[in-house]
Structure 1
Amino acid sequence: MSKVADRFCHLHVHSHFSLLDGVNTIPNMVRLAKDQGMKALALTDHGNMYGAVEFHQTCRQEGIKPIIGMEAYITDGSRHDRKKEGGRQPHFHLVLLAKNEAGYRNLCKLSSLAYVEGFYYKPRIDHEILQAHSEGLIATSACLAGEINRALLHGDSEKAEICARRYIDIFEPGHFFMEVQDHGLSEQKRIVERAPDLAQKLGVPIIATNDVHYLTRQHARAQEVHLCINTGKQIDDDDRMTFESKEFYFKTGAEMEQIFGDYPEYLSNTDEIAAMVDFELETDKMFLPVYFEGNKAPDFDSASAKVAEDENLSRFRDLVEEGFARLYPDPPEGARERLEYEIDIITSMGFVSYFLITWDFCRYARDHKIPVGPGRGSAVGSIVSYCLSITTLCPLKYDLIFERFLNSDRISMPDIDIDFCVDGREKVIEYVQEKYGKDRVCQIVTFGTMAAKAVLRDVGRVLNIPLSEINVLAKKVPDQPGIKLQEAIAAEPDLAKATRDPRYLELFEVAQKLEGLNRHCSTHAAGVVIADRPLTELIPLSRNGEDVVTQFPMEILEKIGLLKVDFLGLRYLTILDRAVDLVEQSTGLKLDLENLPLDDKATYQLLCQGETHGIFQLESSGMRELLRNLKPDCFEDIIAVLALYRPGPLGSGMHHLYCDRK
């Protein structure tokens, strides 16, 4: 590899977080960059930063310098405009790269504003907010859809100069670059010819990029199918969107040198940009909000926040002691020791406010007659949670282990899942938003991926394979969560035979290339993030319909130190609440669900018969079969049933052994 080729790095790259457009997964493209000997790599998905943290961490693991960016949509009017006026282009493209921490924060703010204020078909920024949040950013003029390149393409050098000067004025000196590409398209070649005169006149460097949407040339067909899935077209449609070239892949430095050999500085300038970048995404901080009394959250670094933290230690102890005295008037052996042990762990790990916040919104729900579940998951193993009425099950009675919930040897966020009546869940979330600030509380994004059955159906439709045939093939994929096509083919002889059928060769080839890619984003059913400061200072936000949601999914938020709480809306709580009301209305009897007898013979008779339709976690056909085989006759048997009906025990046949031995 020549010295010029060795200095090239990709600065215009789309992953599958450019939804139904990019075909690259982040691990695959980072490994390819490493294999090609590249020292740095950028991620510039369309209008979003969904993959920024995964990208940064994967690059660091592979010894690649990560450059976090975004290919922004920028309007030449106001981001608030919702109509195309006077032939005005609704939006152009502009590549933005984070040079440092200030740049990363500004990138988060710009991406958030694009969704929350500027969304019109696409998340758009305008020059006003770009000017306000330009510190620490490096910008390039992007592709054919860039404002400058569009003017050059139309031969309007005067407009191109006006646009370029505007960007030069917005960004710090030396932080704006013109960008050229050549994927064999005549329009791009005209830009390559015309850009140097403008760049020389304005003293702006030029970089050469490849608009990477897939890994290799062999993925070009898969990307065409991907676009058809996006636009609802079929591969044979004359009016479908197409890139008109198979060159939008992750080229080597040598391949880029073959294209831009007459302009070696265009390639080496990519290395100059990489050298400018000095940013490390911190993952060892926590941004836990401080619980407070009153209506206005204190600023995270203020004196009032420090006072609230100090007050919370005594408030926490008082509330826990009050609950302990109420629940354990005659404490069993070991109860006090267990309580003190948990309090020491919770305070030493800095999670006092977390418990108080959770206690507070559970209290709010109960005060407003919103049913709250008794507890779920590892948090039920905490006697502190029990004393605060976050859970209503005694961990000592069932010998539950606290360390599954919190462990001083493993510093990680606590995770308390709270079930609320489905009709009241939104009210609880609204309470938390009002208390801590809507700018600090947000629901969480989740991504739907192209799983085995779905990808066969999507690709089959695009390739115009009859729906009846596609349904037959899709139904042969085993109903096993997370199963891969390759695993399904190995397990199902009929499916393996279909892969050799000439009618389906392309179907399976393309489907396996697209399998597992993100297809759409939605709002997580339960997750809510609560921060100690405005979220846009930490992460980017987006929209899902009317919901404002984080751009980072739940597992990423936890990695970067943000508090995630699961507000689960459970319809069974609603059903139980209504049932209690109906019983009281019809009989005058007021049932207490917390104190129902656990030895009712008629109840166990129904369980043994598998008559559990409408019973939470016991109503599936497989669970009803297990109940009939195990024949529970005590509460501990119900615990065993729920533990056995999991993929591990079921896969090993443990449930059969347990039933036989009982």
Structure 2
Amino acid sequence: MTEIPAAEMVHLHVHTQYSLLDGAIRIDDLLKKCQEFGMEAVAITDHGAMHGALEFYVKAKKLGIKPIIGCEFYIAPQDRKKHQGAKSSSDAAFHIVLLAMDEDGYKNLMKLASIAQLEGFYYKPRIDKETLIAHNKGLIALTACLHGGIPHLILHGNMDAARRETKVLQKIFDDRLYFEMQDSGIKEQKKVNKGLVKLSKEFGIPLVATNDCHYLNRDQAFAHEVLLCIQTGRTINDQGRFKFATDELYFKSPAEMKERFSDFPEAIAETVRIADRCNLELKFGQHHFPNFPVPEGDTLASLFERLSREGLEERLVDIREKGELTPELEKTYRDRLEHEIRVIQQMEFPGYFLIVADFINWAKSKRVPVGPGRGSGAGSLAAYCLRITEIDPIPYGLIFERFLNIERKSLPDFDIDFCQERRNEVFHYVQERYGGIQHVAQICTFGSMKARAVIRDVGRGLDIPYGDVDRIAKLIPDQLNITIKEAIDQEPRLKDINNRDEQVAKLLSVSQVLEGLSRHMSTHAAGVVISPEPMTEYLPLCKGPKGETLTQYDMKYTEMTGLIKFDFLGLKTLTVIDRAIKLTEADLDHPLEIDKIPLDDPKTYDLLCKGDALGVFQLESSGMRALLINMKPEVFSDLIALVALYRPGPMESGMVGTFVDTKHGKKPASYPLPQLKPVLEETYGVIVYQEQVMKIANVLANYSLGDADILRRAMG
């Protein structure tokens, strides 16, 4: 028997937490365990989806571990589009494990995962033989667990059918097909493995050893049973509940795997050979901008430039009509716009501005309420000229470099608010304009089992009375992202009951194993991506809870693919304002224009000074209303400062009190240096805005605004 070094074994069948409510392995923990075992490579093969693939790839590469991206697919008995199979174990879609060898394999894996979710979903996301034939290049196939097609036929004594299925898969995958052996103490595996050995000799197809890992350590098997109870809505005491027939589906060490497969050393050695065949290298850092339709004779740059300048002329007419446009101010506007145009073109972002301007102006043309502007994007004059925003950055001293900075190459990111009830109209317009669901998708997000929630979930799974579980959950301190361990350390009552009550100790122990795992997938509140090529060239797709098309990667890893993200946030306040305006239409000679409402109305300020702000966006909380009464805002700039100051940092530091006292003349304004007075005068010597930080760096240290923005970001 050939001795195999411990490091020369690779796990090729692993389910992470992204096999939702089935896998209990966190990617970080998986990679730490690989380091502990001296494993130089590892695969992940989540069920029917690739949610964790890019996270796994990036983190593994960083640690010097070869990432093998895979997926355990469900194969429909016949046609993926026919609603049959997958309802029960007796009428199941069979499993097959596919591993990406290279970029072709990765792209085919994404295509298959997308087809399974978008076309083949029936109880489970399913592919079929037709899709395997079309999208098998660069993929290695393993015959999977007892639910694999060939193992299932062997188990039921149908060796002739197993031979026919082997011929079908061998024709598709050629020398990329492997018989997957498993031995985790399940008696049926013995029978299947004998059949696989026989078929291996007949067809010359290699055997490979795997363990179908679902949890990291053996002592987590019970916690995994509880996880399956959470998935199925059953309890640990239910007869006939879904459970695994072994406690050995953990991430075994190479030594354990060698011992278990001592009669088949070549099946262990084959894991390394397969890993050697998998050499996927992904490239990052390239942006994939959507194809914006440009009129004949124009380029993206020339169209952006022309529309921006035309927009400025329209904006200057309004300022001129108010009698506010001096020659000096006009020069300020023109110089600022030319500066922004140069930067935007140099950073190659004209297309981004044109796309955003297009769908916002479409929304406005359809009377979909659109927010006037939020975040750093309000600092762009070009955006104001293109009517992306309705906030003129010049009178408010907003700085373009906070939004786009030539010193740091990052994508622009407009935070765009739409009426909550009509947001989808804008999304569907974009979808139709850029090629449908193959080019436009919303971004998925994952809900995780936080401390209180996981205790309640586990309590149900353990069949503990709700009142008892709720009492324990409520002992978790109300702190953001607190862990159960931290809670036990901080809360004496929780520590005491954990030490003396066996049932509570079990509840908290299991909960800590499952804490932080992804529980469900949902749709991100705002994120949308648009791709120039079909989306599956860049990432896999799936269906959301309401049938919407979603990316399988979350926001962070979707952006890492280089696709351009746009934020479409549905804001209830815009819906309320729109309804209020419509209610006034019967009593007015002309429609009320929200942008024309004066910002210096005395009666409005009288109401605000009394704290009468219930229902007013961002001003209606009890704390904010108390601050309104204390500050007594008199002008619009007071309201701007008030919203900026109502944050934990300023409130805890005493800045708010200093601002209010100085505003009311109870103490004199203080400036660290005389040259900072022009920067801080409007806020009574208090540094309230990030723009002020940038201006201070500019005035005192002669920083460019680009460098000042880098300093601002470093401050957090």
Does the 8 Å CA contact 2:44/2:53 hold for their aligned counterparts?
A: yes
Change (3 A) 1:145 1:335: same
Match of 1:342 in 2: 340
1:314 aligns with 2:316: no
Counterpart of 2:300 in structure 1: which amino acid? N
Instruction: Return 544-553 or 65-74, whichever deviates more.
Output: 544-553
What is the TM-score when the length of structure 1 is the normalising length?
0.94
Contact between 1:5 and 1:267, CA under 8 Å: does it hold in 2?
Answer: no
For 1:302, the equivalent position in structure 2 comes to: none
1:615-660 alpha-carbon deviations (Å, 9 max, x no partner): 2122233333433443333322322232233344455565455445
Distance 1:7 1:209 in 2: 14
Counterpart residue identity of residue 536, structure 1: T
Deviation, structure 1 residue 343: 1.5
> CA 1:658–1:207 in 2, change beyond 3 Å: closer, same or farther?
farther
- Highest CA radius of gyration, 1 or 2? 2
> For this pair of structures, how many residues does the alignment match?
648
Q: 2:321 maps to what in 1?
A: none
Deviations along 1:505-560, one digit per CA (max 9) or x if unpaired, are 01111112211111001112221110111112221111123112111112211111
The yes-or-no answer on 1:133 pairing with 2:121 is no
Asked if 1:523 corresponds to 2:561, the answer is no
What CA distance in whole angstroms lies between the structure 2 residues aligned with 1:628 and 1:212?
60
What is the SS of the residue equivalent to 1:320? helix
Per-residue CA distance 1:461-496 (angstroms, 9 max, x = gap):
111222112222323334444333333334433333
Following TM superposition, where does structure 1 have runs of at least 4 consecutive aligned residues deviating by more than 6 angstroms? 85-88
Tell me by how many angstroms 1:85 deviates.
11
Give the aligned partner of residue 373 of structure 1: 371
Question: CA deviation digits over 1:147-168, x for unaligned, max 9?
Answer: 1111111222111111111111
Structure 1 residue aligned with 2:320: none
Question: In structure 2, do the counterparts of structure 1 residues 472 and 632 end up closer, same or farther at CA, with 3 Å as the change threshold?
Answer: farther
Q: Which residue of 2 aligns with 1:326?
A: 314
Q: Secondary structure in 1 aligned to 2:46?
A: coil
Q: Distance in 2 between matches of 1:216 and 1:661?
A: 61
Q: How does 1:262-281 map to 2 (within 5 A)?
A: 262-281=263-282
Q: Secondary structure at the match of 1:22?
A: coil
Read off the aligned partner of 2:159 and give its amino acid letter.
Answer: S
For 1:494, the aligned partner's letter is R
2:29 alignment counterpart = 28
2:510 matched residue in structure 1:
510
Closer, same or farther: CA 628–184 of 1 in aligned 2, 3 Å: farther
Confirm whether residue 179 of structure 1 aligns to residue 180 of structure 2: yes
Alpha carbons 1:47, 1:71 under 8 Å: kept: yes
2:178 aligns to what SS in structure 1?
strand
- Quick one: distance in 2 between partners of 1:660 and 1:345? 41
Match of 1:299 in 2: none
Residue 271 to residue 656, structure 1, CA distance change in 2 (3 Å): farther
CA distance, structure 1, for counterparts of residue 540 and residue 372 of structure 2:
34
Q: Distance in 1 between matches of 2:560 and 2:648?
A: 27
Q: Does the 8 A contact of 2:452 with 2:476 survive in 1?
A: yes
Change in 2 beyond 3 A, CA 1:113/1:39 = same
Contact 1:31 1:62 in 2 (8 A): no
Contact 1:421 1:570 in 2 (8 A): yes
Q: Percent same amino acid among aligned pairs?
A: 47
Counterpart contact for 2:459–2:469, Cα < 8 Å: yes
Query: SS at the partner of 2:131?
Result: helix
Q: Is the 8 A contact 2:87 2:123 kept in 1?
A: no
Please state whether the residue corresponding to 1:504 is helix, strand or coil: helix
CA distance in 1, matches of 2:54, 2:651: 36
Change beyond 3 A, Cα 1:647–1:119: farther
The structure-2 alpha-carbon separation of the partners of 1:118 and 1:377, relative to structure 1 and needing over 3 Å to count, comes to: same
Tell me by how many angstroms 1:589 deviates: 5.8
* 1:89-488 equivalences in 2 (<5 Å): 89-171=91-173, 173-293=174-294, 311-328=299-316, 330=325, 331-332=329-330, 334-438=332-436, 439-488=438-487
SS class of match (1:399) = coil
Letter in 1 for 2:448: T
Instruction: In structure 2, give the amino acid aligned to 1:113.
Output: I
Change in CA separation of 1:626 and 1:258 when aligned onto 2, cut-off 3 Å = farther
Query: Residue 291 of structure 2 contacts residue 434 of structure 2 at CA under 8 Å; is this kept in 1?
Result: no
The CA deviation at 1:402 is 2.0
The alignment status of 1:615 with 2:616, answered yes or no, reads: yes
Question: Post-superposition shift, 1:188?
Answer: 1.4
Q: Does 1:533 align with 2:533?
A: yes
Aligned partners of 1:386 and 1:393 also within 8 Å: yes
- Matches of 1:390 and 1:494 in 2, distance apart? 54
SS at 2:299's partner residue?
A: helix
Which AA in structure 2 matches 1:314? S
Q: What secondary structure, in the 3-state scheme, does the structure 1 residue paired with 2:279 have?
A: coil
Mark the CA change 1:373 to 1:507 in structure 2 (over 3 Å): closer, same or farther.
same
The amino acid of 1:507's aligned partner reads L
Amino acid at match of 1:553: D
Q: Does 1:59 align with 2:60?
A: yes
CA contact (8 A) 2:50 2:552 kept: yes
Shifted more, 94-103 versus 398-407: the winner is: 398-407
3-state SS of 2:31 partner: helix
Q: What's the TM-score, normalizing by structure 2?
A: 0.87
- Tell me the C-alpha RMSD between the 2 structures: 2.1
Does structure 1 retain, via aligned residues, the 8 Å contact 2:541–2:550?
A: yes
Contact 1:40–1:67, Cα closer than 8 Å, also in 2: yes
Please tell me the residue identity of whatever aligns with 2:408: R
What is the distance in 2 between the residues matched to 1:292 and 1:191?
58
Listed as ranges, the gaps of 5+ residues in structure 1 are 295-306
| Structure 2: stretches of 5+ with no match in the other structure | 318-324, 664-716
User: Aligned partners of 2:352, 2:633: CA distance in 1, in Å?
Assistant: 38
Write out per-residue CA displacement over residues 122-151 of structure 1, whole angstroms, 9 at most, x where no aligned residue: 000000111111111100001111011111
Shift of 1:587: 4.2
Opposite residue 111 of structure 2, the aligned amino acid is K
The answer (yes or no) to whether the contact 1:2–1:254 under 8 Å persists in 2 is no
The AA in structure 1 aligned to 2:193 is: V
